[in-house]
Amino acid sequence: MLTNNLGYPRIGSNRELKKACESYWAGKISADELLATGATIRKQNWQLQAETGIDLIPSNDFSFYDQVLDLSLTLGVIPKRYQELAKTNSAIDLYFAMARGSQKEGQDVVAMEMTKWFDTNYHYIVPEFTKDQEFKLFSEKIIDEFKEANALGIATKPVLIGPVSYLLLGKEKEAGFHRIDLIEKLLPVYFEILQKLENENVEWIQFDEPFLALNLTDKERNAITYVYNEINKRFPKIKLILANYFDCFGENLSTVLALPVHTLHLDLVRCQSQLDDILESGQLSSNVSLSLGVVDGRNIWKNDFKNSLAIIKKATDALGEDRILIAPSCSLIHSPCDLELETNNATLTPEIKQWLAFAKQKTEEVVLLKYFASNEIDVSNSIRFQENTVANENRKTSTLIHNDAVKNRVASITTGDDQRENPFSIRRKKQIDVLDLPLFPTTTIGSFPQTTEVRSWRAKFKKGELNQQQYDDLIKKETEETIRFQEETGIDVLVHGEFERNDMVEYFGEQLDGFTFTKNGWVQSYGSRCVKPPVIYGDVSRPNPMTVKWSSFAQSLTPKWVKGMLTGPVTILQWSFVRNDQPRSETCTQIALAIRDEVVDLENAGIKIIQIDEPAIREGLPLRKEDWTTYLDWAVKAFRISASGVKDDTQIHTHMCYSEFNDIIQNIADMDADVITIECSRSQMELLDAFADFNYPNEIGPGVYDIHSPRVPSSTEMVRLLEKASAVIPVDQLWVNPDCGLKTRHWDETKKALIEMVAAAQQMRIAVENIATV
């Protein structure tokens, strides 16, 4: 039995990689210094895994920005606009230019597109393919890193994304072909890589084909068969592990079982039934081994050894120990690095800490499981086994986790709880009477610029350099100035600016029971950007109002309406580490009830318009289409529970951004928010077509300018977009607002842009009046 790791976090335990990259971009360190930091991280990771007892240690899992971009360079998939740069720049500068765009010495090229890696919060750089795409071995990173580890005395298992998934991850940049048609041209470069690795005496290699967890076409499935047969023909001696993760193989299973590979890696956390399916199918060839992904690579919970050992035993009984590898479910880049660095006992109490395992601890779990399963360590004498049992027992029964009041409340939810008193048509009339807003009402999405100054107040407050009173006074001053600016600009529905918030999920998590936070639990999101998701460990409830103080304060300053601002239950769930001891839907419902109470409290405090943001609703969609309905049912219901406690004349808004809405438009309508604001301007309102074709019944604010750019759009541009919008949506349903929150922008450009936006709304009103009088 061997232990197998699929990938190790490359950010460094103290985010060394982030710091080095950002210093390099700022011109503070040299390329050599940056490269040296990379080498140090790789060495530490390899040595740590070797010392822990991992047999198959990954290499080429390191990346300065993204592993898909690494592979694009490896395969010479460099879009035309960078080819000039490629001649004059160093390899690393070309690489960063592709990742981030580059403006220097008269060159100005935009970055490549970035998108989410399956259902994770990791973002990869999307390969761009042309019809006559050529492939050639351009970077030898994978071979270099294999040799680098060899020089340290560590024989690694190079990992790379398989050719089918690589093509499917990309996009066609011109019409007239499907990227999967490029497979025959692409494969020879993979052969070249394998040949070079074989020349270096590679024994194991891992090909990731995560698309095997998705619904594939016949053509795509045939490409899988073709690729792995061709590879096996040429390199029969290399032990190839074909890795799939994040879901079952589904209808791809029989294709996979017929492949001439050495080992299949299974994600037994996301798809428990897979092992039984394979063993019972009788189709597993007698020379194929299984890598059992029993340790959760996507979450922070300690493994349950008893449970994992039962699974391993089932497999060894059927296949024998020689054909079994023990592994995490997927690459550990989705886990924080090291639990030992969590020393803040006040927030992450010892009781909770004992339930957790980060990447380093997960590799230890994998190794221990091997020793237990092969009887090299007797479980009955093992302190580590006992510790694990005690921790898991404690978690099951801890009073920190279980709150009967919450459970009872969830159990007694009735049908009416997810419904407003009356349908939208009736609510709308009441809202028009009470709110008295003009046509094309203007608003923003919530946050105003989070300047370095605002952030420094929070840092000082946390360190105790400012007391509560001083901190509150500063936030009050900033809020008041923002209210005055909005009044002067003539915005119709104001916001308080969210200056008191660090992050739209953390802010709520900090005030809800059942949540805790790590000090150093960073996970790479994209490039040098890392996130530190909150940990939901127990039943969620809201001991006190969370936003009423600031919303009421802002409302007290002005006769105009100030919108209350909340993060929705699905987004809070989606952007946290979630409990694995109950279904996600259950946790989501608990959060929904907490948000519902907040909505009602805001209403009671005189807030008539309340926005519940759900930017993450789309990204929670399961990978397989057949699982969508179940998810959408509970997710939409959770939103409705959170929004339905208020009277008809209280207006509920929601906000979504940066997602594809077309295929879930019915579900978005089912959320029944009175107003939805969505990001649209980058696609020049194309997104609105979905809402128009569908006949979206409620009000819509399509974003009229892109907040990700410092560029100030003119009122004329925005009028043009609004005209496009009013061609497909009745004018009395339209709102005018930016794409998303303004927290990453500077005041200067924000002010100018909003003045233009209000002018655009006014022009639209005049135009409509003129039509009416004609």
CB under 5 to 8 A by kind: which of Zn ion, ligand GLN, none does 500 bind? none
CB nearer ligand GLN, residue 311 or residue 707: 707
CB nearer ligand GLN, residue 21 or residue 635: 635
Q: Is 670 annotated as a binding residue?
A: yes
Q: Is 722 an interacting residue with respect to ligand GLN (CB under 6 A)? A: no
708 carries an active-site annotation: yes
Q: Is 743 an interacting residue with respect to ligand GLN (CB under 6 A)? A: yes
Q: Is 530 annotated as a binding residue?
A: yes
Q: 51: helix, coil or strand?
A: helix
Q: How many residues bind ligand GLN (CB under 6 A)?
A: 13
Binding piece for ligand GLN, criterion CB under 6 A, among 113-121, 388-396, 442-450, 583-591: 442-450
- 129-155: buried (b, 16+ CB within 10 Å) or exposed (e) per residue? bbeebebebbbebbbebbebbeeeebb
> Tokens standing for 300?
């922070």
Per-residue binding string, ligand GLN, 364-403, x by CB under 6 A, is ----------------------------------------
DSSP category for residue 736 = B
Helix axes 468-489, 747-773, angle to 10 degrees: 40
Q: How far is the CB of 496 from Zn ion (least distance, A)?
A: 17
Phi and psi, residue 731, nearest 5°: -60, -30
CB nearer ligand GLN, residue 202 or residue 609: 609
CB nearer ligand GLN, residue 327 or residue 475: 475
Q: Which residue has the tokens 């009339």?
A: 429
DSSP letter for each residue of 699-729: EEEEB-S-TTS-----HHHHHHHHHHHHHHS
Q: How far is the CB of 585 from ligand GLN (least distance, A)?
A: 23
CB under 5 to 8 A by kind: which of ligand GLN, Zn ion, none does 447 bind? ligand GLN
Binding piece for Zn ion, criterion CB under 5 A, among 86-94, 241-249, 313-321, 654-662: 654-662
- C-alpha distances (whole Å) from 213 to each of 58, 159, 241, 267 are 22, 18, 16, 10
Of residues 253, 740, 753, 754, which one binds ligand GLN by CB under 6 A? 740
Q: Which residue has the tokens 């009073």?
A: 399
Helix, strand, coil % in the chain, rounded to nearest 5: 50, 15, 35
Long-range CB contacts for residues 48-55, cutoff 8 Å, separation at least 24: 48/8, 48/360, 48/363, 49/5, 49/8, 49/363, 50/154, 52/360, 52/363, 52/364, 52/367, 53/3, 53/367, 53/370, 54/3, 54/4, 54/5, 54/363, 54/366, 54/367, 55/2, 55/3, 55/4, 55/325
Are 636 and 589 in contact by the 8 Å Cβ rule? The answer is no
CA-CA-CA-CA torsion sign (27, 31, 32, 38) = positive
Q: How far is the CB of 318 from ligand GLN (least distance, A)?
A: 47
Nearest to 326 by CA among 299, 362, 360: 362
Q: Is 613 an interacting residue with respect to ligand GLN (CB under 6 A)? A: yes
Q: Is 546 an interacting residue with respect to ligand GLN (CB under 6 A)? A: no
Per-residue binding string, Zn ion, 612-651, x by CB under 5 A, is ---x------------------------------------
Distance CA 92, CA 99 (A): 11
Q: 700: helix, coil or strand?
A: strand
Per CB under 6 A, which of residues 630..669 are in contact with ligand GLN? Answer: 655, 657
Q: How far is the CB of 447 from Zn ion (least distance, A)?
A: 9
- H-helix or E-strand containing 651? strand 651-656
CB nearer ligand GLN, residue 169 or residue 652: 652
Q: Is 445 an interacting residue with respect to ligand GLN (CB under 6 A)? A: yes
> Tokens standing for 601?
């409290």
HSE of 403 in the Cβ direction (CA atoms, 13 Å)? 18
Q: How far is the CB of 117 from Zn ion (least distance, A)?
A: 20
CB nearer ligand GLN, residue 82 or residue 485: 485
Q: How many residues bind Zn ion (CB under 5 A)?
A: 3
CB under 5 to 8 A by kind: which of Zn ion, ligand GLN, none does 565 bind? ligand GLN
Nearest to 261 by CA among 283, 289, 282: 289
The contact set with Zn ion (CB under 5 A) reads 615, 657, 740
Binding residue ranges for 5-methyltetrahydropteroyltri-L-glutamate: 15-18, 116, 121, 529-530, 575, 619
Binding site per annotation, positions for Zn(2+): 655, 657, 670, 679, 740
Binding site for ligand GLN (CB under 6 A): 445-447, 498, 504, 565, 613, 615, 655, 657, 740-741, 743
Residues that are catalytic:
708
Residues annotated within the binding site are 15-18, 116, 121, 445-447, 498, 529-530, 575, 613, 619, 655, 657, 670, 679, 740
Binding residues for L-methionine: 445-447, 498, 613
